[in-house]
Each structure stands twice: as structure tokens, then as C-alpha cells.
């Protein structure tokens, strides 16, 4: 199969490399020439475990190629995936589809023979219809089918998610396209990953409904955590206790500083907008968005309270800045709002993150970045864990304590057992645990 990815960003690159690894012939296209040049040398612009070696080996095997040229690859392709960005539109929160529409126009002009055009980007319900209309308008004789095939990759675990997915959702009512998509995903199907075929609009909605549900699940346990603090219960045990019920499941029940990233915040807002436009408001999701937004600053208030009600003139050391571990992505990271709120209250912020410091530098001001947890702990009045990178799991608390002005640990991800930290003379404050 000859596959083309339009857009060599996160989704296009991971999917392209994985498809090539399964033996397909893949060409990844991007408009940014410098990005393509470095990808051709096997240099990866994002941090994603395992992606570099996979790109390099498939480049060497000739199954994966990168180019800025649109016409030739699309003309020869069996399947063209649209994997361009759909950022939140400034002002109204709707998904900005201008890149998707532009890609559809270019594909229409270049395609030859029966071509399956697949939207992999997260797009609102009805986008497939619009892509189909644009292609027909641009090239009335084109022989094609437009399919929805949403992506369920998690940053930091993208390769495993691609190769061993819970399901592959394919939205099409065209029998020829269905046959082609079965062939594209045959390696995964052989791996027993279920292919789920449905209508195109249903498939588009599955992506948003899935992300909104997960965002809601996280927000639910976060509110339970707040209640736990008031009534003297332990949120981790509540999560375990409810998670053992298989109808609920134990995943995505870790209380923390609120969800962030490039997907949940944007997709929940986009779903709310779509629902409002169709006069079918989704109040649970609206509330999820609002609760999650206020949570980030509430976490700053929690830190202030732990510091005795005032952080003016105090130095706080922040461990972990990215929206979650194993990524360098700072988009919508709770750390940003937390840091800003603490600075507003007069605190001096020091921070360390294994991969996110560079991006964080550009998105914050007045933060001093250190090279490891111990350096930023020097003279600090509190250590605040915001993102649970693995390397923070085995911190040397005795060494940290020796460097800090006050032995206080605020653990916004409930990584540590309170007793262990307290054994080293720290005061420990977690989330949804007894104070
Ligand atoms: C998410 C989905 O998990 C993927 O299935 C989906 O494909 C992707 O969005 C997307 O739409 O492209 P991702 O944003 O990479 O993936 O990250 P998650 O691992 O889902 O985490 C999202 C946020 O929720 C993070 O800020 C994380 O810290 C937070 N979270 C997650 C919690 O606070 N508690 C949890 O129990 C789980």
C-alpha cells in the first residue's frame, strides 16, 4: 500500500513511522522545508520515546520518505491521510479547520485514480462532508472516498498506543473504502486489535466523546479529592474502590492539578461549541471545562495554604512543568497557571523539568530554571511536585531536606507515601488525602 501523510507533526509522524514499520510504503509531507530536511536526516522535532529509532530504521529501509512535494506522492497514493493541526480558533473556541480545508483542495488537484482520503486530524462532526464537497468542487471528475479515522494516541506512549490500540475506529459507508482501510490496518487486525466500522459522522463524534468522557472522569475524581480533604477520606483509595467495578474501570482516576495538553482542553471546548450550535448543549462537558479551569489556580491556593497562608518573599521549587511526563509539551500545562498565580502572590519560582524547560522558558517570566531537583531545592521554602516524571520517584529526601529552608513537600500528583516523606522530617501535603 502506498500511503501519504499530509502534515508531519505529532500525529502524522507517529502514524507514518508506525505504518512504515508495518511494511507499508509511506511518504510524509510537510510545508515547512526545514522540518522535512531534518526529518530526512532522521532528526525528530518532538520528544516521543522510541520514535527516533523507528523513523531512522524505516528511512534506511526506504519505506519511509519525507518531502515538501505534494503532487507526485498524492497522485500515486492509495490512501492520503490528512494529519494537519486543528487548533482552537481564536475568539470562539471552535476548531480551526483552515489547514484541513486547504489540504483537501490540494489533494483534489493532485489525486489520480481511486483515492481514499482519510481525516486523522481531530475534526468536528460534519467535516468529512465538507472535505468531500471541497474535493468535488475542485476536481469534479475525481474518484475518491472520504473516511474518518480518528487517532487515540497519547503523547509519551504514542507508539505503543498505535501498535496495540484498544480499537481502530473507521467511519465510512463506502464499500471500496472499507476494503482499502481493512488492508491498511491488516497488520493491526492480525494483532487482534478490533476494527470498528461505523458512519463517518459517528466516527467523528467518537473522538470528541471519548476525550470529553476521559476529561470528565479526571475532573470527577478531582472533585472527589476536594471532598476527601474536607471529610477526611483518601482519594486514592476511593479511586481504587470504585475502579474495581469494571463498569467504571481503574484508569484515569488519578487526582491531580487538572488535565492539560494539546487535546483535552481543546477538544472539550470544541465539543461544547458543536453541541451549542446544534441546540443540544452538553452541560456535563461545559461544567468539566469550567471546573478544570478553576482547578489550576486552586492548586496555587493549596500551595499558599500549605505555606501558612502567605508566600510573599518565599522561594518555591517546582518539580515538573510539562502537562504530563514523557513529553516536552507545555501546551495548557497546569504548571503555567500555578506558577503565574504563585508569582502574583509574591513568590519567587525556581523550576526543573527533564524535557520541558526550553518551552517553559518561553511561556513564563521570572522563573529560574535549574539542572536538577536538588539545585532548585537550595534555600527553598517548599518543594511542589506538579508533573510526575519517573526520575522524581526516588528522590533523596535527606539530601533535599539538607538544602531547603523549610522541609515542606506539596505533592500535587500523590506520588509519595506521606509516611516515607515524613520520616525524613518533611511536612507532606498531597491531593485528596488527610492533611
Ligand atoms: C489524550 C488521550 O488520552 C488520547 O487517547 C488521545 O488520542 C489524545 O488525547 C488526543 O486527542 O490526541 P494526551 O493528551 O496525550 O492524550 O494525554 P493523557 O495521557 O490523556 O493525559 C491528559 C491530561 O490528563 C494530562 O494533563 C494528565 O496529567 C491528566 N490526567 C490523566 C490526570 O490528571 N489524571 C489521570 O488519571 C489521567
Q: What is the CATH number of the domain that holds 77?
A: 3.40.50.720
Decide: 431 in ligand 1 pocket, CB within 6 A: no
Together in a domain, 63 and 211: no
For atom 19 of ligand 1, the residue with the nearest CA is 154
Between CA 371 and CA 115 the distance in angstroms is 51
Between CA 118 and CA 73 the distance in angstroms is 15
Together in a domain, 238 and 116: no
Together in a domain, 191 and 239: no
Together in a domain, 179 and 47: yes
Together in a domain, 170 and 317: no
ipTM tops 0.85: yes
Residues in the chain: 435
The answer for residues whose C-beta is within 8 angstroms of residue 155's C-beta and 6 or more apart is: 10, 48, 261, 262, 324, 326, 327, 329
Cell of 369: 530554571
Which atom of ligand 1 approaches the CA of 161 most closely? 5
Distance 90 CA to ligand 1 centre (A): 23
Exposed/middle/buried for residue 38 (C-beta within 10 Å: 0-12, 13-18, 19+)? middle
Decide: 82 in ligand 1 pocket, CB within 6 A: no
Residue range(s) defining the domain that contains residue 149: 2-198
Together in a domain, 22 and 152: yes
CA angle 121–36–72, rounded 5-degree value: 75
Between CA 350 and CA 60 the distance in angstroms is 43
Decide: 381 in ligand 1 pocket, CB within 6 A: no
415 backbone dihedrals φ, ψ, rounded to 5°: -80, -35
Task: Tell me the Ramachandran region of residue 425: left when phi exceeds 0, alpha when psi lies from -120 to 50, beta otherwise.
Answer: left
Sign, CA dihedral 302-303-306-307, equals: negative
Q: Output the pLDDT for position 433.
A: 92
Sign, CA dihedral 415-421-426-431, equals: positive
84 backbone dihedrals φ, ψ, rounded to 5°: -95, 170
Q: Would you say 382 and 306 are in contact if contact means Cβ atoms under 8 Å apart?
A: yes
Residue 183's CB is within 10 A of a number of other CB atoms, namely 15
Half-sphere exposure of 369 (CA within 13 A, CB side): 16
Together in a domain, 184 and 312: no
Task: Please state the pTM of the whole predicted model.
Answer: 0.94
Q: Which of 148, 179, 198 is the last residue of a domain?
A: 198
Secondary structure class of 117 (helix, strand, coil): strand
Total domains present in the chain = 2
Secondary structure class of 80 (helix, strand, coil): strand
Residue 75's CB is within 10 A of a number of other CB atoms, namely 14
Which atom of ligand 1 approaches the CA of 207 most closely? 11
Q: Output the pLDDT for position 435.
A: 64
Together in a domain, 117 and 243: no
Sheet holding 64-67, edge to edge: 64-67, 25-29, 2-6, 79-82, 115-119, 144-148, 168-171, 195-198
Distance 159 CA to ligand 1 centre (A): 15
Q: Ligand 1 test: best mutation among 166, 256, 356, most atoms within 8 Å of CB?
A: 256
Q: Which of 177, 198, 219 is the last residue of a domain?
A: 198
Together in a domain, 126 and 189: yes
Together in a domain, 245 and 144: no
Q: Output the pLDDT for position 110.
A: 97
Residues of the chain falling short of pLDDT 70: 435
Q: Would you say 184 and 79 are in contact if contact means Cβ atoms under 8 Å apart?
A: yes
Question: In the annotation, is 28 catalytic?
Answer: no
Q: Output the pLDDT for position 427.
A: 96
Together in a domain, 179 and 219: no
Between CA 164 and CA 274 the distance in angstroms is 31
The neighbouring-strand residues paired with 95 are: 88
Q: Which of 198, 227, 250 is the last residue of a domain?
A: 198
Between CA 226 and CA 223 the distance in angstroms is 5
Q: Identify the active-site residue in 18, 28, 263, 307.
A: 263
66 backbone dihedrals φ, ψ, rounded to 5°: -125, 140
Q: Output the pLDDT for position 189.
A: 75
Q: Would you say 373 and 352 are in contact if contact means Cβ atoms under 8 Å apart?
A: yes
Together in a domain, 165 and 269: no
Amino acid at each position: 500500500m502506498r500511503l501519504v501523510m499530509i502534515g508531519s507533526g505529532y500525529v502524522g509522524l507517529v502514524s507514518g513511522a508506525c505504518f512504515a514499520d508495518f511494511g507499508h510504503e509511506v511518504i510524509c509531507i510537510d510545508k515547512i522545508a526545514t522540518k522535512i530536511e531534518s526529518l530526512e536526516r532522521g532528526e525528530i522535532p518532538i520528544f516521543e520515546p522510541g520514535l527516533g529509532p523507528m523513523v531512522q530504521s524505516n528511512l534506511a529501509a526506504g519505506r519511509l520518505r519525507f518531502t515538501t512535494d505534494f503532487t507526485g506522492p498524492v497522485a500515486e497514493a492509495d490512501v492520503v491521510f490528512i494529519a494537519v493541526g486543528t487548533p482552537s480558533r481564536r475568539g470562539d473556541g471552535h476548531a480551526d479547520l483552515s489547514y484541513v480545508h486547504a489540504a483537501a483542495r490540494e489533494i483534489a488537484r493532485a489525486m489520480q485514480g481511486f483515492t481514499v482520503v482519510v481525516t486523522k486530524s481531530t475534526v468536528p462532526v460534519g467535516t468529512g462532508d465538507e472535505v468531500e464537497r471541497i474535493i468535488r468542487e475542485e476536481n469534479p471528475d475525481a474518484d475518491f472516498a472520504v473516511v474518518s479515522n480518528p487517532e487515540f494516541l497519547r503523547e509519551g506512549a504514542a507508539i505503543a498506543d498505535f501498535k496495540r490500540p484498544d480499537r481502530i475506529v473507521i467511519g465510512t459507508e463506502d464499500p471500496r473504502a472499507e476494503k482499502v482501510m481493512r488492508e491498511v490496518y491488516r497488520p493491526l487486525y492480525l494483532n487482534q486489535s478490533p476494527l470498528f466500522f461505523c458512519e463517518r459522522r459517528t466516527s467523528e463524534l467518537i473522538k470528541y466523546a471519548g476525550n470529553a468522557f476521559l476529561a470528565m472522569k479526571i475532573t470527577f475524581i478531582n472533585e472527589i479529592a476536594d471532598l476527601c480533604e474536607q471529610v477526611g477520606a483518601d482519594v486514592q483509595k476511593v479511586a481504587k474502590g470504585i475502579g474495581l467495578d469494571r463498569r467504571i474501570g481503574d484508569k484515569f482516576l488519578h487526582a491531580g492539578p487538572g488535565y492539560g495538553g494539546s487535546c483535552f482542553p481543546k477538544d472539550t471546548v470544541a465539543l461544547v461549541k458543536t453541541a451549542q450550535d446544534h441546540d443540544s448543549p452538553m452541560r456535563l462537558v461545559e461544567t468539566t471545562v469550567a471546573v478544570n479551569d478553576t482547578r489550576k489556580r486552586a492548586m496555587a491556593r493549596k500551595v499558599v495554604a500549605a505555606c501558612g497562608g502567605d508566600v510573599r518573599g518565599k522561594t518555591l521549587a517546582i518539580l515538573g512543568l510539562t502537562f504530563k511526563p514523557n513529553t516536552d509539551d507545555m501546551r495548557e500545562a497546569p504548571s503555567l497557571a500555578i506558577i503565574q498565580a504563585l508569582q502574583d502572590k509574591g513568590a519567587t519560582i525556581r523550576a526543573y523539568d527533564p524535557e520541558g524547560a526550553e518551552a517553559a522558558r518561553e511561556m513564563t517570566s521570572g522563573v529560574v530554571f535549574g539542572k536538577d531537583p536538588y539545585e532548585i531545592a537550595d534555600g527553598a521554602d517548599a518543594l511542589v511536585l506538579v508533573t510526575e516524571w519517573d526520575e522524581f520517584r526516588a528522590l533523596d529526601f535527606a539530601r533535599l531536606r539538607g538544602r531547603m529552608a523549610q522541609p515542606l513537600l506539596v505533592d500535587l500528583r500523590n506520588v509519595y507515601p506521606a509516611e516515607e516523606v515524613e520520616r525524613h522530617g518533611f511536612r507532606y501535603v498531597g491531593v485528596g488525602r488527610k492533611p
